[in-house]
Amino acid sequence: MATDPTLQPPHARSKLRRRTPVRDVNSEHDERMSRLDRLALAITNRVGTMGFFLLIFSWTVLWLGWNLLAPRPLQFDPPQAFVLWLFISNMIQIFLMPLLLIGQNLQSRHAALRAQSDYEVNVRAEHEIDAIMQYLEEQNAMLLKLLAHVGISAEQIRAATPAAPVTDQRTME
């Protein structure tokens, strides 16, 4: 005996159609990353912290302070030029800049995947909400038919129940 799927409750109707599972974009992104990508991302995540800034700041203060205030025989970088300090600082910048850009590109790709996943979930939710609203509208129409069959009008029901705030006019038809 076949039954009309529209007459079944919503939880039974949902079993009739298969839903695609929600994607885990975080694991997809992690699976696509190479070891070098992971290294660049780890460096990007560490360099962009206050701890790294304080490390570089402390190193600079110690280096310049030692070469300005230490006795002349113990100074290893001339105080007027700081050539070695400039060289090391520039090398750090030269090596970190491309790594930071690579890490930011990886983070951007991950953000784009998350945005696409959010969009897919929102579209799916919108379709499910539309299906639920349609089902409620069908139930409302069936109830009105039953009330008419029994001899009670919708106006009598509305008059007998306290007024509730209406958020959507589609349910009041």
Please indicate, yes or no, if residue 116 is contained in any of the structural domains.
Answer: yes
Domain count, the chain: 1
Read off the pLDDT of each residue in 108-114 and give the average, rounded to a whole number: 91
Please indicate, yes or no, if residue 154 is contained in any of the structural domains.
Answer: yes
Give the Å distances, CA to CA, from 159 to 142, 154, 162, 164: 20, 9, 7, 12
Please indicate, yes or no, if residue 11 is contained in any of the structural domains.
Answer: no
Please indicate, yes or no, if residue 6 is contained in any of the structural domains.
Answer: no
| Greater model confidence, 127 or 155 | 127
Helix count and strand count (H, E) for the chain: 6, 0
Task: Give residue-wise pLDDT tens across range 130-156.
Answer: 999 999 999 999 988 888 888 887 787
Q: Specify the pTM.
A: 0.54
CB-count exposure of residue 62 (10 Å: 0-12, 13-18, 19+): exposed
d(CA 103, CA 108) in angstroms, rounded, equals: 9
Task: Give residue-wise pLDDT tens across range 51-80.
Answer: 999 999 999 999 888 988 889 888 888 777
Domain span at residue 129 reads 26-172
Please indicate, yes or no, if residue 65 is contained in any of the structural domains.
Answer: yes
Please indicate, yes or no, if residue 119 is contained in any of the structural domains.
Answer: yes
d(CA 137, CA 133) in angstroms, rounded, equals: 6
Task: Give residue-wise pLDDT tens across range 82-101.
Answer: 888 889 999 999 999 988 89
Please indicate, yes or no, if residue 18 is contained in any of the structural domains.
Answer: no
pLDDT of residue 148: 85
d(CA 16, CA 20) in angstroms, rounded, equals: 13
Please indicate, yes or no, if residue 132 is contained in any of the structural domains.
Answer: yes
pLDDT of residue 169: 55
